[in-house]
Structures are given as C-alpha cells and as structure tokens.
Amino acid sequence: MNSVMKYVTFDCNDPRIMSEFWSAVLGYETTPWDDYDGAMSKPLGGGSPGIAFIKVPEGKSVKNRLHLDIEPSGATMESEVERIIELGARRIEEFHEPSGTWTVMTDPEGNEFCVAQPE
C-alpha cells in the first residue's frame, strides 16, 4: 500500500493572498479555511495535490529547502513568466543548462519556485 500526497503546505503571513496567487498561476480554485487561519488552492474538479497555506507569526528568513517547479501548458516559458509577474511574482534568474531551461522566481511572500521551458 502507498500513501498519496494530499497537500503541499506553505507557512505564510497571508494565506488568502498566497492561495489566490497560486490558484491564478495554476488554474486552481481558492478555498478559505474559516475555522482555521489558512486557505487552500485545489485543482478544479477535485484531485490532488492541493496547496495549503497556514498563517505563522514569523516571516521567511532563508532560502526554501523545497520549491515548486511548474511548466507552462500551451505557452512559452517567457510568456508564462510575464503572466506570473503580473500576478505578483518577481523574476530572480534564468538558467540555460544541458538538462533544460528555467527561470527562478519568487511568489508574493518570497518563496522560490521555477518556471521550466516546456519540452
């Protein structure tokens, strides 16, 4: 028997803003957790994994030990990077390596993620 990944969870300062950002990036829907100071982005129509956002008192202080890699569907890497910047992300650096091309970005709270060139 195996386990399945239910959520990837981010500690953050503003769960609603983070959930709305990631829902817009991934085409997910935002679900606030009214009984808990958090929110979730989940795939439209169900499925997993969702992305959970939990409010914590401390801010981010070091580089992430885990990050998301996303790949555009039906768009170029650069057009997707520009779209995500309009949603509130920031471009950090672009890499061109034999293994692929990707852009390192940060979300509105400074969490690093990568946008990969579609294969």
Please tell me the class of the 1-57 domain: alpha beta
Domain 64-119 maps to which CATH number in 3.20.20.140, 1.10.3720.10, 3.10.180.10, 1.10.260.40? 3.10.180.10
Domain boundaries of the chain, sorted by first residue: 1-57, 64-119
In three-state secondary structure terms, 45 is coil
pLDDT in tens, 52-96: 999 999 888 888 888 999 999 999 999 999 999 999 999 999 999
Neighbours of 31 (CB within 10 A): 15
Grouping H, G, I as helix, E, B as strand and the rest as coil, residue 87 is: helix
Taking the model in full, what pTM does it have?
0.92
Share of the chain above pLDDT 90, in %: 78
Distance, CA of 66 to CA of 73 (rounded, Å)? 23
Question: What is the reported pLDDT for 45?
Answer: 86
Q: What pLDDT is recorded for position 117?
A: 94
pLDDT of 47 higher than 90: no
CA distances from 36 to 55, 72, 107 (A): 9, 32, 22
